[in-house]
């Protein structure tokens, strides 16, 4: 990319409005409830609302951390950049590699569930009835999204905003009509008392609940394209946090107080508590919101027609954000010498990072093949039942999605703590509350107590994931180990520090970041802080 093209980019980067920033995040994280609700209800049963509450508290901490970091460091690298800057290159690679796992799973998982929601209106797409057709359509969507991103076609902010607005209105209507005409508080209490899950199932449900809150990375990635990010991102992020938290808690309580539950034994001999309108059928796990909406009095007949379509579109947009996001993260990691430079190559004709797009889309296809194998090949299904407790394709994708999210978020909290200690001079227009004043290396710093609480919470969910998900326990750590081996070989080949970090001028980098973001007042404040700090150190030195 030429210097002239770089100078032309800031105008584009500052084109995202407050609603555009909100819809950018909502088109990703807002789709998660369409996937996570059914998975959590299938396992956490009468404690589904508790599982969502625990994951929601952790999510609030994550959201506050991302809000502070994205407003302070408005760059496209997101969590990977924050961790690299706060903890060092190798930790930045691990965080980025975990995010890449999430993005590739994002592509497959949301394309899969987009087809599941479409099957509510087109029964021929039901996975258990026509597995090859279901697989072919999902594969076609993944390949199609890959090609669209290669030629430079991506969802516009306007289209995201329209779909997000329609979905917010739709989900609000479902909840309002549901609580007004169908919700029974006594049934909620009865369900929680009579169908409380085992400790194992509750941990499993909680680990799956976190996937309903994944996607805040999108706002931090859009920070470099947002007008006055230090001012806009806190407002849009807090609005998004509250919206998603309310929806997740409301949907889980509505589901528990809408219809009775009963136990069913699955094919592997494991007993689960299933919703009466959510029978023992993995196909229904992927379209729980549509099933719930159809049961709402008065509004349900209309919702049954459009919710599957709206859900399918929103999920497809989220799948596309996985293709786009994986290439963007790979590009950012490549420019930081965490991945080979070929991932940063931009095609001369299409001006897109073709290699990154194709490579990580290919990984998404491999994940799809593995997830679809039990339905496509009966012999593989019996092996899954024997070695992986009967997990189906959707379970496999959710396992890895939860593992990648919990791993990357754990490092983001550590990165936030590291940046508070090593970079106290950067102005933080938004700061996580409950800080402990202290001194570190001669500078006054504020230790973020909330980050410690958030780390304990998300690390607990990571442990739940490893303990309760057989496939996630194997393939999640394997992904990290293979990535680390590749990183070590690459750094040694390039004669770069293997276990240490490259020397970087973070002061000039921060000045340039704020200048490009249009935050000139914050840039002047940062330069004044640096000058005052240097003067204090010089005085102490004399």
Is there a domain that residue 432 lies in? no
Q: Other CB atoms closer than 10 Å to residue 342's CB: what's the count?
A: 12
Look up the CATH number of the domain holding residue 266: 1.20.1740.10
3-state DSSP of 432-498? CCCEEEEEECCEEEEEEHHHHHHHHHHHHHHHHHHHHCHHHHHHHHHHHHHHHHHHHHHHHHCCCCC
Residues 464 and 528 in one domain: no
Is there a domain that residue 424 lies in? no
Q: What are the beta bridge partners of residue 16?
A: 226
pLDDT score for 262: 53
The long-range contacts involving 537-540, CB below 8 angstroms and separated by at least 24 positions, are 537/442, 540/442
Asked if 122 and 290 touch (Cβ cutoff 8 Å), the reply is: no
Is there a domain that residue 464 lies in? yes
Separation of CA 390 from chain center: 26
Is there a domain that residue 109 lies in? yes
Closest CA to 244 of 215, 206, 217: 215
Residues 459 and 542 in one domain: no
DSSP for 68-104, please give it: HHHHHS--TTTHHHHHHHHH-HHHHHHHHHHHHHHHH
Residues 344 and 280 in one domain: yes
Query: For the segment 381-403, what is each residue's pLDDT rounded down to a tens digit?
Result: 666 555 555 456 777 888 888 89
Residues 372 and 490 in one domain: yes
Sign (positive or negative) of CA dihedral 420, 426, 430, 435: positive
- Looking at the structure of the chain, the number of domains it has is 2
Residues 385 and 515 in one domain: no
Helix (H, G, I), strand (E, B) or coil at 226: strand
pLDDT score for 529: 93
Separation of CA 98 from chain center: 11
Q: How far is CA 149 from each of CA 17, 57, 320, 325, rounded to the nearest angstrom?
A: 23, 35, 8, 10
Tell me whether residue 143 is exposed, middle or buried, using C-beta atoms within 10 angstroms of its C-beta: 0 to 12, 13 to 18, 19 or more. Answer: middle
Which two three-digit tokens encode residue 94?
């691990």
Alpha carbon distance, N-terminus to C-terminus of the chain: 46
pLDDT score for 334: 92
Pairing of strands 261-265, 443-448: unpaired
pLDDT score for 498: 92
Q: How far is CA 102 from each of CA 246, 329, 397, 406, rounded to the nearest angstrom?
A: 24, 11, 10, 10
Helix (H, G, I), strand (E, B) or coil at 265: strand
Is there a domain that residue 184 lies in? yes
Query: For the segment 138-163, what is each residue's pLDDT rounded down to a tens digit?
Result: 999 999 989 888 886 554 556 667 78
Closest CA to 226 of 15, 452, 505: 15
Q: Other CB atoms closer than 10 Å to residue 17's CB: what's the count?
A: 15
pLDDT score for 202: 93
pLDDT score for 279: 44
Is there a domain that residue 197 lies in? yes
pLDDT score for 112: 92
Cβ contacts of 499 within 8 Å, gap of 6 or more: 90
Residues 476 and 515 in one domain: no
Q: Note the pTM of the prediction, 2 decimals.
A: 0.85
| Range of the structural domain that residue 542 is part of | 510-542
Residues 206 and 343 in one domain: yes
* Helix axes 393-422 and 48-72, enclosed angle (nearest 10): 40
Residues 202 and 249 in one domain: yes
Residues 340 and 391 in one domain: yes
pLDDT score for 292: 85
pLDDT score for 28: 73
Is there a domain that residue 411 lies in? yes
Residues 220 and 302 in one domain: yes
* Positions in the chain short of pLDDT 70: 1-21, 23-24, 152-160, 218-227, 261-286, 380-392, 540-542
Residues 381 and 487 in one domain: yes
Residues 457 and 542 in one domain: no
Is there a domain that residue 95 lies in? yes
């Amino acid at each position: 990319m030429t210097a002239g093209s770089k100078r032309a980019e800031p105008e584009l980067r500052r084109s995202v409005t407050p609603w555009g920033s909100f819809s950018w995040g909502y088109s990703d994280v807002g789709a998660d409830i369409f996937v996570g609700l059914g998975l959590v209800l299938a396992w956490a049963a009468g404690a589904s609302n508790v599982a969502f509450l625990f994951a929601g508290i952790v999510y609030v901490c994550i959201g506050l951390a991302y809000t502070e970091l994205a407003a302070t460091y408005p760059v496209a690298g997101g969590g990977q950049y924050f961790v690299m800057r706060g903890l060092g290159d190798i930790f930045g690679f691990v965080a980025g590699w975990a995010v890449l796992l999430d993005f590739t799973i994002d592509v497959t998982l949301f394309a899969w569930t987009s087809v599941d929601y479409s099957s509510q209106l087109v029964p021929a797409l039901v996975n258990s009835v026509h597995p090859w057709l279901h697989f072919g359509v999902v594969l076609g969507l993944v390949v199609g999204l890959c090609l669209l991103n290669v030629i430079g076609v991506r969802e516009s902010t306007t289209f995201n905003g329209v779909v997000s607005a329609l979905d917010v209105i739709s989900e609000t209507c479902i909840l309002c009509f549901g609580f007004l005409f169908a919700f029974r508080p006594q049934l909620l209490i009865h369900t929680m008392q009579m169908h409380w899950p085992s400790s194992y199932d509750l941990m499993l449900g909680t680990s799956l609940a976190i996937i309903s809150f994944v996607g805040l990375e999108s706002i931090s990635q859009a920070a470099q394209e947002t007008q006055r990010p230090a001012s806009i991102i806190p407002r849009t992020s807090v609005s998004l946090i509250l919206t998603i938290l309310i929806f997740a808690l409301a949907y889980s309580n509505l589901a528990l107080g809408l219809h009775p539950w009963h136990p069913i034994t699955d094919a592997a001999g494991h007993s689960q508590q299933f919703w009466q309108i959510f029978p023992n059928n993995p196909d229904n796990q992927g379209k729980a919101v549509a099933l719930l909406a159809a049961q709402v009095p008065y509004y349900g007949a209309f919702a049954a027609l459009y919710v599957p379509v709206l859900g399918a579109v929103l999920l497809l947009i989220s799948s596309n954000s996985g293709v786009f996001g994986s290439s963007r993260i790979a590009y950012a990691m490549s420019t930081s010498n965490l991945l080979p430079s070929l991932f940063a190559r931009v095609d001369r004709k299409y001006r897109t990072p073709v290699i990154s797009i194709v490579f990580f889309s290919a990984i998404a296809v491999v994940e799809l093949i593995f997830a679809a194998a039990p339905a496509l090949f009966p012999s593989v299904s019996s092996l899954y039942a024997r070695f992986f407790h009967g997990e189906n394709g959707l379970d496999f994708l959710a396992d890895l999605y939860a593992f990648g999210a919990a791993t990357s978020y754990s490092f983001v909290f550590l990165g936030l703590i590291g940046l508070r200690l090593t970079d106290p001079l950067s102005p933080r227009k938004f700061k996580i509350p409950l800080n402990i004043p202290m001194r570190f290396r001669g500078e006054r710093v504020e230790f973020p107590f909330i980050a410690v609480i958030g780390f304990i919470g998300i690390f607990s969910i990571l442990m739940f994931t490893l303990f309760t998900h057989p496939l996630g326990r194997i393939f999640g750590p394997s992904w990290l180990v293979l990535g680390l081996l590749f990183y070590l070989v690459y750094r040694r080949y390039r004669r770069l520090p293997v276990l240490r970090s490259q020397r970087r001028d973070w002061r000039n980098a921060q000045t340039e970041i704020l200048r490009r973001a249009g935050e000139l007042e914050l840039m002047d404040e940062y330069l004044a802080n640096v000058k005052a700090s240097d003067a204090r150190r010089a005085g102490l030195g004399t």
